[in-house]
Chains A and B, each alone.
Chain A
Amino acid sequence: MKKKECIALILAGGQGSRLGSLTKNLAKPAVPFGGRYRIIDFTLSNCSNSDIDTVGVLTQYQPLVLNSYIGIGSPWNLDRNNGGVTLLPPYTDTEGRKWFRGTADAIYQNIFYVNQFDPDYVLVLSGDHIYKMDYSKMLAFHKKKGADATISVIEVSWDEASRFGIMNTERDGRIIEFEEKPKVPRSNLASMGIYIFNWKLLRDFLIEDSKNENSSHDFGKNIIPSMLKDGRRMFAYRFKGYWRDVGTIESFYEVNMDLISDSSELDIYDSNWKIYSENSTQPPHYAGPDASVKCSLINEGCVVFGEVENSILFQGVYVGKNVKIKNSLIMPGARIMDNATLDRVIVGEGSIVREGVKLIGGKEHKQTENYDVSDTGIIVIGENTVI
């Protein structure tokens, strides 16, 4: 393999259990998002747009959909002869290794993959964040500071700060302390889970960490603190822009809704920074003679006869006559039959809402065998369900 200056590793093995029935049969990064994407498209597109052409994707939980979706990486321009995208599942060897025990262990077990490219730097990313970021700028910052590690941070509001991993820094950005979910935060710079490491140094720390039986083999809990303790040059890189974690039903719903707004902070229509995705091979959508669509995103292949407001229809959704859909996400191929009413509902892929069914989200709803209800009252119908 040719030497690469910097390669990316995307952690995509987590279950995302807080997404409930959305991740029953697929990993969180593969969950459909924003009308035509899957969550991991944003990270993969960022790599591609930042000229990073070598990307390892670490998978573990329910990888079938994710594996077949990523394939050889063509949609993201990552089908390369040298590098490109590589899926890195857990494996056994002569020593009988097991599952990835944590984020750091996942990379430790793939040291051989990284070594092939003899990179100076590795970029460690999560497969479940929605944002647009030019990693090459972060790498330039890392080099300029002569850092051992750089952690991308974003300013969050002070009252939210105790929900994040917080970086306490000196004026020049050097990190002096890292606190995971501090009760009384002393800074509002939250870690985005995006790291650049000097590879040789990280490798040493990973090997050391793997020997520690008490470690939970996690970047935030173990690797970063031990590097700090060791007095390494670690810097916070301030990212300004839209960045969201979509770990819960609420945040997943909110971030989708953010795309709808007339002045959305995340521009998915920018031809200089495209978000690449698999081509759904469907015709333009059809809005019928009595259709009414307001403040919504509609993807290819949809047929709309009813009313849609403040909602997102993914590819191939059918909306019958007199249907009223409000504040909802309708995943690929779902069919909403005549006279149905939906408000604050997430309808899973391939599900059918029968004629005349009325579902209005709200906290008073109880979970049934057909759907979950989130803490804030969003109804979530799993995939291939008939309601």
Chain B
Amino acid sequence: MNEVLGIINDARYDYNLKEIGNYRSMASIPFGGRYRMIDFVLSNMINSGIQNVGILVQRNYRSIIGHLRSPKEWDLDRKRDGLFILPPGYDFGIPGALMGDLQVIHSNLDYIARCKQKEVIISGVNILCNINYSEALRFHMENRNDITVIYKDMGDDMRDLSMCTNLEVGDDGRILDMEVGPDESIGTAMSMNMYILSKKLLAKITQRCISRGKTDFVKNGIIENIGKLKIYGFKFDGYVAHVNSIQDYYRYSMELLNTDKWHEIFFKNGRIYTKAMDNGPAKYMKGSTVKNSLIANGCIIEGNVENSILFRKVKVHKGAQIKNSIVMQNCEIGEEAILENVILDKDSKITKGRHITGSDGFPIVIEKKTVI
């Protein structure tokens, strides 16, 4: 896989994660008890043998730089290749204004041109799975595709594809139509926002689009080329979580409480890497009860936790009750406090005896550093 350059695209903003997304880009949204969204796609690339990864960023990227500060943890501290942050250039429009992702790619074309790899896998960060890319790459090469789109057939699970990229796939696998955020779905296939193409073609598409004032990689770069280029779909059969909204975030977080899914996403083709924090093991004190929950290291639990996810360093005091909730890093839940259907962002504190209850499937989201 060293002939492939990995590009992680964190320069798109077609999602809505309300309070937890206000200060973060999608890549740095905490997920799964100890990870950030980017860890999944980055680990998939590493586990597939990719050794050169560039990350397209645009807004609020300080936290992603902090997270990736040491490429060692991802085994990307290489002399040749390794890990690169690709920031937006200011050769477009007003500084600070939101750009299209093609503009960010355009600003970094010299990096892409300089890499020795010939093929590119460009992936978004909002779709989580544990995939080995080599099979898709083989299909791409053997079928001589111009572009390969990795997709998941969602079958009956069409609950809400309104924020996804929907595909119509022909019997032979050719992509016939594609829509970003369709008002009516054109099939059961969802693009996993992972695209394989040659570096040359990526550069060509980028330049052609930019010179015509078009700035969106998927809408302009790919959809407008359907019928002109050989664009095929590669079907992925594993477990997929897609996060575009708070409801998705909550739903797919809770699905990790299913050990088969937990096992598939964290172990199937390799482990998921993240920044080490050197916390001790989770400590269960006298009187704690924990049922059907994921508990990260550094947690100290004296109270009750049920159907919930606790990130690293969460303190649950005596008599506190946490149910159907996601509690992020470094939060503290006071004595006798009750949390039900809540997403509590990091560094927050719920004081003694407080009750906070959201409704089933529609959690209350509490911003980081909140004290209640």
Q: A and B: partners? A: yes
Residues of A in contact with B (beta carbons under 8 Å apart): 34-36, 74-75, 260, 262, 268-269, 274-277, 279, 281-300, 303, 312-313
A34, A74, A290 — which one has the most chain B CB atoms within 10 A of its CB?
A74
Q: Once the chains bind, are B280 and A279 in contact (CB under 8 Å)?
A: no
Q: Interface-forming stretch among B16-24, B169-177, B282-290, B334-342?
A: B282-290
User: Does B349 have its Cβ within 8 Å of any Cβ on chain A?
Assistant: no
Q: Interface-forming stretch among B199-207, B242-250, B294-302?
A: B294-302
A108 to chain B, nearest CB (A): 35
Given A294-B288, A298-B295, A283 contacting B281 (CB threshold 8 A): no
Q: Once the chains bind, are B259 and A286 in contact (CB under 8 Å)?
A: yes
Chain B residues within an 8 Å CB radius of A281? 271-274
Q: Once the chains bind, are B266 and A282 in contact (CB under 8 Å)?
A: yes
Q: Once the chains bind, are A36 and B288 in contact (CB under 8 Å)?
A: no
Q: Once the chains bind, are B295 and A297 in contact (CB under 8 Å)?
A: no
In the complex, which residue of chain B has the Cβ closest to the Cβ of A315? B281
Q: Once the chains bind, are B266 and A283 in contact (CB under 8 Å)?
A: yes
Q: Once the chains bind, are A286 and B293 in contact (CB under 8 Å)?
A: yes
Chain A residues within an 8 Å CB radius of B369? none
Interchain CB contact (< 8 A) of B286 among A284, A295, A303: A295
Known contacts A75-B278, A297-B282, then 16 further A-B pairs from the complex at CB < 8 Å, ordered by chain A residue = A36-B280, A269-B300, A279-B73, A282-B266, A283-B266, A284-B34, A284-B294, A284-B296, A285-B282, A285-B294, A286-B262, A287-B291, A288-B291, A293-B288, A295-B284, A297-B283
Chain A residues within an 8 Å CB radius of B32? 283-284
Chain A residues within an 8 Å CB radius of B288? 293-294
In the complex, which residue of chain A has the Cβ closest to the Cβ of B265? A283
B 22-68 contacts with A by CB, 8 A = 32-34
Complex Cα–Cα for A299 and B279 (A):
10
Chain B residues within an 8 Å CB radius of A75? 276, 278
Q: Once the chains bind, are A298 and B72 in contact (CB under 8 Å)?
A: no
A348 to chain B, nearest CB (A): 18
Chain A residues within an 8 Å CB radius of B273? 281
Q: Once the chains bind, are B281 and A34 in contact (CB under 8 Å)?
A: yes
User: Does B309 have its Cβ within 8 Å of any Cβ on chain A?
Assistant: yes
Complex Cα–Cα for A296 and B288 (A):
10
B 228-287 contacts with A by CB, 8 A = 257, 259, 262, 266, 271-274, 276, 278-287
Q: Could you pull out 15 A-B pairs where Cβ atoms are within 8 angstroms?
A: A34-B280, A35-B280, A74-B72, A260-B283, A269-B283, A275-B280, A276-B278, A285-B282, A286-B294, A287-B290, A290-B291, A291-B290, A295-B286, A297-B282, A300-B297
Q: Once the chains bind, are B284 and A298 in contact (CB under 8 Å)?
A: yes
Closest 9 A/B residue pairs (Cβ): A284-B33, A35-B281, A268-B280, A284-B296, A279-B276, A299-B281, A283-B266, A297-B281, A281-B271
Complex Cα–Cα for A63 and B297 (A):
29
Q: Once the chains bind, are B284 and A299 in contact (CB under 8 Å)?
A: no
Q: Once the chains bind, are B295 and A287 in contact (CB under 8 Å)?
A: yes
Interchain CB contact (< 8 A) of A277 among B257, B278, B287, B292: B278
In the complex, which residue of chain B has the Cβ closest to the Cβ of A312? B281
Chain B residues within an 8 Å CB radius of A284? 32-34, 282, 294-297, 309-311
Complex Cα–Cα for A260 and B285 (A):
8
Given A268-B280, A269-B280, A283 contacting B286 (CB threshold 8 A): no
Main secondary structure of the interface of A (DSSP, over half): loop
In the complex, which residue of chain A has the Cβ closest to the Cβ of B258? A286
Main secondary structure of the interface of B (DSSP, over half): loop
Chain B residues within an 8 Å CB radius of A282? 266, 271
Given A269-B279, A297-B281, A287 contacting B286 (CB threshold 8 A): no
Chain A residues within an 8 Å CB radius of B286? 262, 294-295
Chain A residues within an 8 Å CB radius of B289? 292
Interchain CB contact (< 8 A) of A298 among B33, B281, B287, B291: B281
> B338-365, CB under 8 A of A: which get 1 and which 0?
0000000000000000000000000000
In the complex, which residue of chain A has the Cβ closest to the Cβ of B33? A284
Chain A residues within an 8 Å CB radius of B274? 281
Chain A residues within an 8 Å CB radius of B293? 286-287
A260, A290, A295 — which one has the most chain B CB atoms within 10 A of its CB?
A295
Chain A residues within an 8 Å CB radius of B72? 74
A73 to chain B, nearest CB (A): 12
Q: Once the chains bind, are B284 and A289 in contact (CB under 8 Å)?
A: no
Chain B residues within an 8 Å CB radius of A276? 278
Chain A residues within an 8 Å CB radius of B309? 284
Chain A residues within an 8 Å CB radius of B310? 284
Q: Once the chains bind, are A36 and B276 in contact (CB under 8 Å)?
A: no
Complex Cα–Cα for A285 and B287 (A):
19
A147 to chain B, nearest CB (A): 34
B70 to chain A, nearest CB (A): 9
Complex Cα–Cα for A94 and B284 (A):
57
Chain B residues within an 8 Å CB radius of A294? 284, 286-288
Complex Cα–Cα for A285 and B309 (A):
10
Chain B residues within an 8 Å CB radius of A269? 279-280, 283, 298, 300
Chain B residues within an 8 Å CB radius of A288? 259, 291-292
A300 to chain B, nearest CB (A): 6
A34, A260, A294 — which one has the most chain B CB atoms within 10 A of its CB?
A294
In the complex, which residue of chain A has the Cβ closest to the Cβ of B293? A287
A9 to chain B, nearest CB (A): 24
A138 to chain B, nearest CB (A): 24
In the complex, which residue of chain B has the Cβ closest to the Cβ of A309? B284
Complex Cα–Cα for A291 and B284 (A):
13
Interchain CB contact (< 8 A) of B292 among A279, A287, A293: A287
Complex Cα–Cα for A303 and B272 (A):
17
Complex Cα–Cα for A276 and B272 (A):
20
Q: Once the chains bind, are B278 and A298 in contact (CB under 8 Å)?
A: no
B272 to chain A, nearest CB (A): 7
Complex Cα–Cα for A298 and B299 (A):
10
In the complex, which residue of chain B has the Cβ closest to the Cβ of A296? B284
Chain A residues within an 8 Å CB radius of B259? 286, 288, 303
Q: Once the chains bind, are B283 and A289 in contact (CB under 8 Å)?
A: no
Complex Cα–Cα for A262 and B283 (A):
9
Complex Cα–Cα for A139 and B329 (A):
37
In the complex, which residue of chain B has the Cβ closest to the Cβ of A260? B283
B72, B283, B287, B288 — which one has the most chain A CB atoms within 10 A of its CB?
B283
Chain B residues within an 8 Å CB radius of A279? 73, 276
In the complex, which residue of chain B has the Cβ closest to the Cβ of A316? B267
